[in-house]
Amino acid sequence: MIKNIFSRLAPALVLAAASSLAHAQTPIKFILDWRFEGPSALFLAPVAKGYFKDAKLDVSIDAGNGSGGAVTRVAAGTYDMGFADLAALMEFHANNPDAPNKPVAVMMVYNNTPASVMALKKSGIKTPADLNGKKLGAPVFDAGRRAFPIFQKANGIGTVQWTAMDPPLRETMLARGDVDAITGFTFTSLLNLEARGVKAEDVVVLPYPEHGVKLYGNAIIASPKLIKENPAAVKAFLQAFTKGARDVIVKPDAAIDYVKERDGIINVALEQRRLRLAIDTVVNSPDARSEGFGRIVGPRLSLMASQVSDAFGTKTRVNPDAVWDGSFLPSTAELNILPAKK
């Protein structure tokens, strides 16, 4: 009797176990480089649209407080993947050569650094050369400030004076005239200046990529542990992300709804502009269309590694081969998501 019951239950148990395995989702903890603002829609869209879920991934996304923090948290194992400035990743590698869990960049999202120098027109600053002897302001960890020696060398700029401040004060100090210029991500600082009453036409923007600095910007990074133990999950993440990014690029304004779900007090119109500016300047840039979305070019990566080593004064030289692994990228057809410039 008992034997017959088990014989009847066994197939059902096997089917239940198989069904459970089929629907099992790999958890991925992901950290952004910054708060939930317009550009974070690139990551929130594939969550909201179920693209990660369809790829059998259970992805949770948290806001960050800077690229350096994102790198160290992935390195510590607190997060499996993250979004961080490639220069910050390079710096971590070169300053921590013996770290057991150095994250690796697996997809380029911001093909160009969003960093720029910004000044008010009334300051008389029109070109990089006009920065000679001027007072510049930025948080000490700001990507543009850290990379300024590269910008400085490329444009023959002499000595400048730096003033440090917390991020919320950067644009305020420029608007008040406490500093002559600031460094920051264009799509962050320009809109923050407008929010402080400064008109866009009264701001001089000197983007690094347009003044001889071809640094890569932010990339998706992954922990070596995840890469080793579940490479399929890394590949699935990038495929789902690419699908979501394509949707966001096509309809950026609508994608801000996903950001508002995570931060209900955002200014929707402002974040729509921020996202469009990010897409136009660093995601769908001429370099990105030339190299291909998500990809890097070896010689450019090697040059950046050398520049970061010098500008950041790292303990060891950056090894470009150690910071990048493009083997998990989707196919060329899947990566073909950038529309031609109108």
What does the chain come to in residues? 342
CA gap 255, 242 in Å, rounded: 14
- Edge-to-edge strands, sheet with 218-222: 57-62, 26-31, 81-85, 218-222, 104-108
CA distances from 48 to 42, 88, 273, 295 (A): 11, 29, 21, 25
115-211 shares the fold of 26-112+216-335 = yes
The single-letter DSSP state of residue 109 is: S
First to last CA, the chain: 76
Superfamily of domain 26-112+216-335: Periplasmic binding protein-like II (3.40.190.10)
205-264 per-position pLDDT tens digit: 999 999 999 999 999 999 999 999 999 999 999 999 999 999 999 999 999 999 999 999
Residue 270, token pair as written in the block? 């402002």
Q: Return the closest-CA partner of residue 36 out of 235, 271, 228.
A: 271
Q: Where are the domains of the chain?
A: 26-112+216-335, 115-211
**3-state secondary structure at position 103:** coil
**3-state secondary structure at position 192:** helix
Residue 41 has a pLDDT of 98
158-216 per-position pLDDT tens digit: 999 999 999 999 999 999 999 999 999 999 999 999 989 999 999 999 999 999 999 99
- Which numeric CATH code is attached to 115-211? 3.40.190.10
CA gap 336, 307 in Å, rounded: 30
Neighbouring residues of 212: CB distance < 8 A, sequence distance ≥ 6: 151, 154, 155
20-59 per-position pLDDT tens digit: 444 589 999 999 999 999 999 999 999 999 999 999 999 9
Dihedral sign of CA atoms 88, 205, 160, 211 in order: positive
pTM greater than 0.85 (yes/no): yes
- Edge-to-edge strands, sheet with 135-137: 161-163, 135-137, 181-185, 115-120, 203-207
Q: Which residue has the tokens 């960890």?
A: 141
Q: How are beta strands 57-62 and 26-31 bridged, if at all?
A: parallel
Residue 20 has a pLDDT of 45
Residue 84 has a pLDDT of 97
Q: Which residue has the tokens 């930025």?
A: 138
**3-state secondary structure at position 110:** coil
